[in-house]
Structure 1
């Protein structure tokens, strides 16, 4: 059986790193990418084939794909779009530049990479595209407006892409994690400090609580799962004859998917506003 190839973005830590290492051990040709060269070097030291790729830099995408496709022999069986971050802050305090940066990383860069991969999959007659979304791609929380917007947009774009690629033998799936034990919260705190002025906001008291939560070693509580929980869903999306449209990972994701189906919007708002 020919070794199957998968391109994974955001492999420096967390979900992407666990997926890359697990699939490599499983026999896949893993083409791991990271934004910083020092992280690429670390991936290589772990035995992975890795490349520098910054999804916000379209020249970086082009340069990486030349190397990746040379390594894979011009084919690509799977694409796992994963690298993203969350920009906290109330909508009224959110600079438009912060919102733009959120979309560049979480949506526009993924789109730019994906639309370069689709013709390859069409030509070879098969492929699968897996997008790492979030529970916040279908329910909203206070102070997560930028991240919510980027993931809601990703879900809409992905659902449309799935319909358009149905006849091309390219399966498209979304993975929707809830709280996962990664560097996500530390990165969110960094983005918060970069763009949000706490002292000038009417949300100052809430922000200080948010900072404490994001700084905590286990801010997700007992429902936080390891990155391997996402990798398990990813493996099913790659190996099942018919991949699921959506993989809901963690209890909060499954719980809120159920609540969204059965609760009136006002009731759901009341529940979510406590988060």
Structure 2
């Protein structure tokens, strides 16, 4: 029997590549995103497109109910891939924008998790994959609310992993480095709009150049899709998997470096 997978953020980037890869490798995949038209091409790969806005509870519950009805009460694997990065100085980002960042990256993922867990517990099997970031372990300037969302996802995943392990459910964190996606353009646009002309404009200018220069070096999202496949097919998956441009070096340096030295390293990269 095919394992049933729900993947959010399936209209682009890592979510889309994961949906395609799993559908082509024997999984029953539901690819979810806000815009139906951006999911249509997934049908050719055997993916079932479904509309979902992770900031609206009514669409979250409708999505889960629809899949459960079609599969006889099964969602075996949940991949929380929907997310974005809202950049700007903490002083400049409006609280409404900050709340939206957390709604998408944290609360939407956790609400879906709440809804699928009863069925995973009943079936004594489940895999919950949360897409974090190296930015969930290391926070630099001008991305405070994004980092807050990923730090929160890391902590929630650690708690959840220990809560649901007795029921045969695994919780897996994926920590990508720089990956080719719409993320950098969105982050750049938000950064310039929010803090490009204020007190932080000099830092913003240097940071924006760093974002642009990283695009050519970023890894293809297929490597994260392959990592997710490896993780969910492991009988005893690790709590965390990291891959992508600079992911492992960044996490290693963070692990062995003091906060003061790390601040100096970050400052040197923005000069």
TM-score range, shorter chain: over 0.9
Which is worse superposed, 243-252 or 48-57? 243-252
Tell me which residue corresponds to 2:228.
234
How far apart in 2 are the matches of 1:211 and 1:253?
20
Tell me which residue corresponds to 2:15.
16
How far apart in 2 are the matches of 1:129 and 1:193?
35
Deviation at 1:83, TM superposition (A): 0.7
How far apart in 2 are the matches of 1:63 and 1:226?
32
Matched, 1:131 2:130: yes
Deviation at 1:265, TM superposition (A): 1.6
Which is worse superposed, 173-182 or 263-272? 263-272
Matched, 1:99 2:98: yes
Please give the secondary structure, in 2, of the residue aligned with 1:143.
coil
Report if the CA contact (8 A) 2:4-2:77 is conserved.
Answer: yes
Report if the CA contact (8 A) 2:127-2:232 is conserved.
Answer: yes
How far apart in 2 are the matches of 1:3 and 1:259?
41
Please give the secondary structure, in 2, of the residue aligned with 1:219.
helix
Residues 1:120 and 1:42: Cα distance change in structure 2 (over 3 Å): same
How far apart in 2 are the matches of 1:192 and 1:251?
22
How far apart in 2 are the matches of 1:175 and 1:46?
24
Residues 1:259 and 1:212: Cα distance change in structure 2 (over 3 Å): closer
Tell me which residue corresponds to 1:81.
80
Give the TM-score taking structure 1 as reference length.
Answer: 0.92
1:6-51 C-alpha deviation (Å, 9 max, x unpaired):
1000011110110011111111101110111222334335542110
**Contiguous gaps of at least 5 residues in structure 1:** none
How far apart in 2 are the matches of 1:251 and 1:11?
22
Deviation at 1:219, TM superposition (A): 3.0
Deviation at 1:3, TM superposition (A): 0.8
**Contiguous gaps of at least 5 residues in structure 2:** none
How far apart in 1 are the matches of 2:252 and 2:237?
21
Report if the CA contact (8 A) 2:87-2:191 is conserved.
Answer: yes
Please give the secondary structure, in 1, of the residue aligned with 2:171.
strand
How far apart in 2 are the matches of 1:187 and 1:87?
8
Matched, 1:257 2:251: yes
Please give the secondary structure, in 2, of the residue aligned with 1:6.
strand
User: How do residues 240-251 of structure 1 correspond to structure 2 at under 5 angstroms?
Assistant: 240-251=234-245
Residues 1:97 and 1:274: Cα distance change in structure 2 (over 3 Å): farther
1:129-174 C-alpha deviation (Å, 9 max, x unpaired):
0100000000011111111000001100110000111111101110
Please give the secondary structure, in 2, of the residue aligned with 1:172.
strand
Report if the CA contact (8 A) 1:140-1:272 is conserved.
Answer: no
User: How do residues 100-249 of structure 1 correspond to structure 2 at under 5 angstroms?
Assistant: 100-192=99-191, 196-199=194-197, 201-214=198-211, 216=212, 219-222=214-217, 224-249=218-243
